[in-house]
């Protein structure tokens, strides 16, 4: 561990001399001064004004004593580099970052504590009748002490923040992997890992599959900051958004705007332990978007296209169904097949109501009746069999999607 060397502070050999006997006198007062400095820090810095007990109290007390000891050691031996105490403050800075307190709070505590310690110890120097040169040297050492421990703490804080950011990202990636893995996921395991990843476990989630981009886009950053778990390295790139049906960052138009035009499919809203299921649907929908069966651009929500996803859940089986139930249409021309298929689907969906079919297709009712007579010749009594009618709707719906794509 490297603790930075202070900048802008004179080297110790040039420091004016301070009577060595002052060091022993001040050392004898360390406990009393530490009590008063600790009390002053807790009074003036709100972040440190918590109940004075337990490990927190011990750490605060230790930090105060260490800084005062460094100050006295500088007086006793100007050649002492104070590396051990600087290392202590380096660790203190790291600890403050891990606890989530700001660097400003830490630096404020050091300034308040340093100033108060200087006042207390300065009075002792005055009582000894030190001349102005010695008092000035004492003030310089006080400044040096605060500067050194502040720099060491700041370095430790910065190092912890860097590591914390990287570690947090790794933990969130592990959490996302856990949530999206095949098979059952234990809620307890999710909660444990989510706690370490600082991710509040939501009631519901939805997986999002994103179209591949030539380079890594920046839209994942604000979404990740808003609470999404993001993996832009997966294929396809994916993310998991909390409470997608709410009015927050992931609801409605806000989410679409955040993606900046990148095509995406949002899986169904599910319980957090069923996230993998949501991703399967989102990935399937993204594939259908790429083929033009679902809209190619924008954000497609699986909940709006469940029947299409059901149809294309097993395409070889769908093709067999089409081949069997639509075989009578193979005997007509391509143009006639398209017209008859369109009319038959509209007729089945409208409850066999000819006027409704005419309105739906923007054609004359007589044209509808003419086509229905042709269909009766091709399909016979099968048109009136309930099970066959269901098969026809599924097969014709798939054919309509295919025709629209082309």
Handedness of CA 67, 71, 72, 76 (dihedral sign): positive
Alpha-helical regions (H) of 128-198: 132-180, 187-196
Instruction: Please name the residue that has the structure tokens 């033009």.
Output: 292
The answer to whether the CB of 153 falls within 8 A of the CB of 93 is: yes
Global pTM reads: 0.59
Q: What's the pLDDT score for residue 361?
A: 92
Give the mean pLDDT per block of 10 residues along the chain (406 residues): 39 54 75 80 76 58 73 68 68 76 77 77 73 75 78 82 74 91 87 87 92 62 72 89 74 69 91 94 95 90 92 92 94 92 93 92 94 94 90 92 70
Could you give the CA distance from residue 263 to residue 278 in angstroms, rounded to a whole number?
17
Q: Which of 117, 135, 150 is nearest to 7 (CA)?
A: 150
Alpha-helical regions (H) of 181-219: 187-196
- 233: helix, coil or strand? coil
Instruction: Please name the residue that has the structure tokens 């009746």.
Output: 369
The answer to whether the CB of 256 falls within 8 A of the CB of 266 is: no
Q: What's the pLDDT score for residue 12?
A: 44
Could you tell me the two tokens for 188? 């307890």
**Pairing state between β 264-266 and 299-301:** parallel
Q: What share of the chain is helix, strand, coil (3-state, %, to 5)?
A: 65, 5, 25
How far, CA to CA in Å, does 109 sit from each of 38, 62, 112, 114? 9, 14, 5, 8
Could you tell me the two tokens for 226? 């808003």
Residue 286 makes CB contacts below 8 A (sequence gap 6+) with: 209, 210, 211, 236, 263, 264, 265, 300
Could you give the CA distance from residue 141 to residue 145 in angstroms, rounded to a whole number?
6
Q: What's the pLDDT score for residue 104?
A: 81
- 19: helix, coil or strand? coil
CB atoms within 10 A of CB 73: 19
First-to-last C-alpha distance (Å) of the chain: 64
Q: What's the pLDDT score for residue 114?
A: 77
Using only C-alpha atoms, what is the Rg of the chain? 37
């Amino acid at each position: 561990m490297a603790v930075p060397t202070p900048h802008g502070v004179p080297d110790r050999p040039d420091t004016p001399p301070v009577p060595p006997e002052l060091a022993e006198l001040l050392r004898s007062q360390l406990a009393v001064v530490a009590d008063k400095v600790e009390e002053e820090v807790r009074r003036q810095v709100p972040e440190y004004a918590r109940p004075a007990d337990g490990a927190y109290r011990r750490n605060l007390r230790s930090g105060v004593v260490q800084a005062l000891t460094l100050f006295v050691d500088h007086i006793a031996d100007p050649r002492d580099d104070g590396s051990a105490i600087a290392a202590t403050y380096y660790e203190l800075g790291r600890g403050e970052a891990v606890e989530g307190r700001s660097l400003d709070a830490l630096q404020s505590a050091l300034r308040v504590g340093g100033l108060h310690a200087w006042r207390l110890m300065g009075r002792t120097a005055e009582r000894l009748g030190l001349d102005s040169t010695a008092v000035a040297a004492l003030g310089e050492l006080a400044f040096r002490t605060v500067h050194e421990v502040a720099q060491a703490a700041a370095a430790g804080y910065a190092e912890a923040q860097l590591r914390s950011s990287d570690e947090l990202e790794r933990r969130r990636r592990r959490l996302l992997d856990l949530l999206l893995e095949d098979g059952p996921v234990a809620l307890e395991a999710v909660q444990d890992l989510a706690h370490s990843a600082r991710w509040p476990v939501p009631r519901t989630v939805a997986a999002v599959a994103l179209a591949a981009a030539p380079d890594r886009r920046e839209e994942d950053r604000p979404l990740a900051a808003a609470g999404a778990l993001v993996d832009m390295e997966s294929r396809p790139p994916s993310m998991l958004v909390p409470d997608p049906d709410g009015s927050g960052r992931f609801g409605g138009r806000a989410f679409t705007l955040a993606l900046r035009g990148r095509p995406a499919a949002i899986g169904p809203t599910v319980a957090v332990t069923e996230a993998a299921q949501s991703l399967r649907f989102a990935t399937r929908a993204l594939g259908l978007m790429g083929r033009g069966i679902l809209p190619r651009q924008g954000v497609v929500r699986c909940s709006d296209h469940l029947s299409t996803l059901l149809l294309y859940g097993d395409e070889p089986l769908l093709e067999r169904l089409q081949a069997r139930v639509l075989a009578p249409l193979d005997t007509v021309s391509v143009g006639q097949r398209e017209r008859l298929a369109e009319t038959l689907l509209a007729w089945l969906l409208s409850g066999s109501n000819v006027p409704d079919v005419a309105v739906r297709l923007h054609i004359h009712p007589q044209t509808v009746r003419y086509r229905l007579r042709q269909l009766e010749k091709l399909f016979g009594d099968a048109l009136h069999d309930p099970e066959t009618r269901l098969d026809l709707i599924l097969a014709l719906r798939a054919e309509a999607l295919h025709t629209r794509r082309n």
